[in-house]
């Protein structure tokens, strides 16, 4: 929420400190449920006091923003869509498909229980609490599915069978002439313990709703998916205390489930998105690319940022072209491509320039290479070696442009950089990864679709805020790539390079 701009960093630090104190003091299941709900209430009161009456809507707004219609002209036609409204609808649908109990219901139950334990207007509060029972959602565990006792017990914890029984006991307590509030407080603790799994599920649901899509096969077909989430792998004796996020695929027992924490959850979101699809050799690249797309908040990229990206790419191409007639530029280019391009592609670039074979020369560098190359040019030259409106415009970039925001166009490089955030960084030649036995690093290195996407959008005037809906286009282009094997990154970059205005607008039109 801090990254979404909804909560200032100082407030986040204060809230996190309170969360730590609450959980440090918790000793029972009921304590943990209360600590979680109190932390949610604290967040709402500090970050969204005007929207605190509906916890679910307030958190959704903090994560996704306010609904805003985005409009643009392209090809003589008027286009428009509301990215936030569409994203919000998908977020809610994921929660609905997984039958997640709303936070507002759980917060309201906790409030009513607290006030009942204080003896406040029991008749009204008991009636209200009874009315909340039906809003506590559950998914029956199929009896015909063969699973071990541990799995069945794990899933049955999410059932709400105990809730009506506890409410009935509360009604009996308040039906007495002399109410013993100590007994009511004990029942409150029982109730909180009974809904603790629901509280956990509601909080997990926020992350699932943000990163997953209702179109993901496992999300739409398995209503128990969220309930099966395991933070620890209990089946492995040497399991890490903080396992990385991963999709555990299995047709046995309770079936496939997600494992681990949420620090790298976009990775597992990508894996889950392609699960069940016929992706062939592109599966790992597709998972890395979709995960990278889903972790990107496109709202903060502006039109001027896309303009700067386009100028940077043009600058690198101009350097290559002018190097053909200027030996000094050629020498500088040869030096600055060391470590950026592989020996083979660097030779292709320099030989192509010498032979005036511009198609060969320009095809030696991908968009990521060109962006890095333009940065090296700007660092090397304070005065330009040729007159170009591109260079002039770049030196006088519009005030609204912020190159730091362009980091969002980089890949999410958990394997390469150990960080889940997007980084538009120089990651070395593709070739240094293609000989690794496992292609995880190569998949992250090749996940440059966002650069191609932003380049086309900037050229035709499509707002960056709409680009989060181009995921189907990325899938389509990866299928078209027809990778010869899992290391065939060249097929991926060739396919991405085929992206054009018509394809982008067609993909966005399908989302209207």
Per-residue pLDDT of the chain (512 residues; tens, 9 = 90+): 666 666 788 888 999 999 999 999 999 999 999 999 999 999 999 887 777 789 999 999 999 999 889 988 877 788 889 999 999 999 999 999 999 999 999 999 999 999 999 988 899 999 999 999 999 999 988 888 788 888 888 898 899 889 999 999 999 999 998 989 999 999 999 999 999 999 999 999 999 999 999 999 999 999 999 999 998 876 666 567 778 888 988 888 788 899 999 988 998 999 999 987 788 899 999 999 999 999 999 988 988 899 999 999 999 999 999 999 999 999 999 999 999 999 999 999 999 999 999 999 999 999 999 999 999 998 998 888 888 888 888 888 766 566 778 999 998 888 888 888 888 888 999 999 988 988 999 999 999 999 999 999 999 999 999 999 999 999 999 999 999 999 999 999 999 999 999 999 888 887 76
Q: How far apart are CA 136 and CA 102, in angstroms?
A: 8
For residue 100, which of 188, 260, 219 has the smallest C-alpha distance? 219
Q: What integer pLDDT is reported at residue 4 of this predicted model?
A: 64
Please report where in the chains the tokens 């280019």 appear, as a residue.
Answer: 333
248: β partners:
257
Closest CA to 455 of 299, 286, 313, 294: 313
CB-side neighbour CA atoms (13 Å) of 102: 19
Q: Are strands 422-423 and 411-412 parallel, antiparallel or unpaired?
A: antiparallel
Q: How many CB atoms lie within 10 A of CB 355?
A: 11
405: nearest Cα among 419, 386, 382, 422:
422
Q: In whole angstroms, give the CA distance from residue 290 to residue 447.
A: 9
Q: What gap in Å lies between CA 299 and CA 147, rounded to an integer? A: 44
Q: What is the pLDDT of residue 151?
A: 84
Helix (H) / strand (E) containing 72: strand 70-74
Q: What is the DSSP string of 365-425?
A: S-HHHHHHHHHHHHHH-SS-SS--HHHHHHHT--TT--GGGGGGGSEE-HHHHS-SSEE--
pLDDT of residue 235: 66
| DSSP helix/strand/coil, 297 | coil
The β-bridge relationship of strands 246-248 and 77-81 is unpaired
Which residue do the tokens 């969204």 mark? 48
Q: At CA 327, angle to CA 323 and CA 330, rounded to 5? A: 45
Instruction: Give whole-number Cα distances, 27 to 15, 113, 163, 193, in Å.
Output: 20, 19, 22, 12
Phi, psi angles (nearest 5°) of residue 284: -70, -40
Burial (Cβ within 10 Å: 0-12, 13-18, ≥19) of residue 509: exposed
Q: What is the DSSP string of 417-469?
A: HS-SSEE------GGGTTTSSSTHHHHHHH--HHHHHHHHHHHHT--GGGGGG
Q: Residue 440, Cβ neighbours under 10 Å: how many? A: 17
Q: pTM for the full model? A: 0.92
pLDDT, residue 505, reads 87
d(CA 199, CA 18): 18
| Every domain of the chain and the residues it spans | 1-229, 298-510
> How many angstroms separate the CA atoms of 62 and 58, rounded?
6
């Amino acid at each position: 929420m801090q990254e979404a701009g909804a909560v200032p960093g100082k407030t986040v630090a204060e809230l996190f400190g309170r969360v730590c104190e609450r959980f440090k003091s918790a000793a029972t299941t009921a304590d943990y449920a209360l600590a979680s709900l109190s932390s949610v209430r604290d967040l709402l009161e500090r970050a969204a006091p005007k929207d605190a009456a509906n916890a679910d809507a307030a958190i959704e707004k903090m994560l996704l923003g306010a609904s805003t219609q985005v409009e643009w002209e392209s090809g003589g036609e008027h286009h428009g869509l509301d990215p936030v409204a569409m994203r919000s609808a998908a977020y809610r649908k994921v929660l609905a498909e997984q039958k997640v109990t709303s936070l507002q219901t759980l917060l309201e139950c906790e409030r009513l229980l607290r006030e009942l334990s204080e003896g406040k207007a029991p008749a009204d509060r008991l009636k209200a609490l009874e009315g909340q029972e039906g809003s506590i959602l559950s998914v029956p565990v199929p009896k015909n599915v063969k699973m071990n006792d541990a799995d069945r017990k794990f899933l049955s914890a999410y059932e709400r069978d105990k809730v009506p029984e506890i409410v009935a006991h509360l009604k009996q307590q308040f039906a007495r002439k002399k109410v013993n509030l100590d007994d009511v407080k004990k029942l409150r603790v029982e109730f909180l313990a009974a809904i603790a799994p629901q509280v956990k599920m509601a909080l997990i649901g926020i992350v699932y709703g943000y990163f997953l899509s209702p179109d993901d096969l496992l999300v739409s077909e398995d209503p128990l998916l969220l309930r099966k989430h395991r933070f620890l792998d209990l089946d492995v004796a040497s399991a890490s205390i903080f396992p990385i996020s991963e999709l555990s695929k299995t047709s046995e027992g309770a079936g496939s489930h997600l494992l681990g924490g949420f620090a790298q959850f976009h990775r597992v979101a990508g894996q889950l998105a392609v699960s069940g699809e016929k992706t062939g050799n592109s599966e790992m690249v597709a998972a890395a690319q979709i995960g990278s797309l889903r972790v990107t908040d496109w709202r903060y990229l502006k039109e001027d940022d896309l303009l700067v990206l386009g100028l940077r790419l043009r600058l690198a191409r101009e350097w290559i072209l002018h190097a053909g007639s200027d030996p000094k530029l050629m020498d500088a280019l040869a030096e600055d491509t060391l470590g950026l391009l592989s020996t083979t592609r660097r030779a292709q670039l320099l030989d192509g320039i010498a032979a005036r074979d511009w198609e060969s020369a320009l095809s030696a560098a991908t968009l990521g290479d060109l962006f890095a190359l333009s940065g090296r040019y700007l660092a090397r030259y304070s005065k330009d070696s040729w007159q170009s409106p591109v260079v002039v415009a770049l030196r006088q970039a519009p005030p609204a442009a912020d190159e730091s925001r362009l980091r969002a166009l980089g890949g999410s490089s958990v394997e390469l950089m150990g960080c889940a955030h997007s980084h538009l960084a120089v990651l070395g030649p593709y070739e240094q990864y293609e000989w690794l036995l496992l292609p995880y690093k190569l998949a992250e290195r090749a996940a440059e679709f966002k650069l191609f996407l932003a380049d086309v959008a900037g050229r035709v005037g499509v707002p960056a805020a709409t680009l989060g809906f181009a995921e189907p286009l990325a899938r389509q282009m990866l299928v078209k790539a027809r990778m010869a094997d899992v290391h065939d990154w060249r097929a991926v970059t060739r396919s991405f390079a085929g992206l054009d205005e018509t394809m982008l607008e067609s993909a966005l039109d399908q989302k209207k």
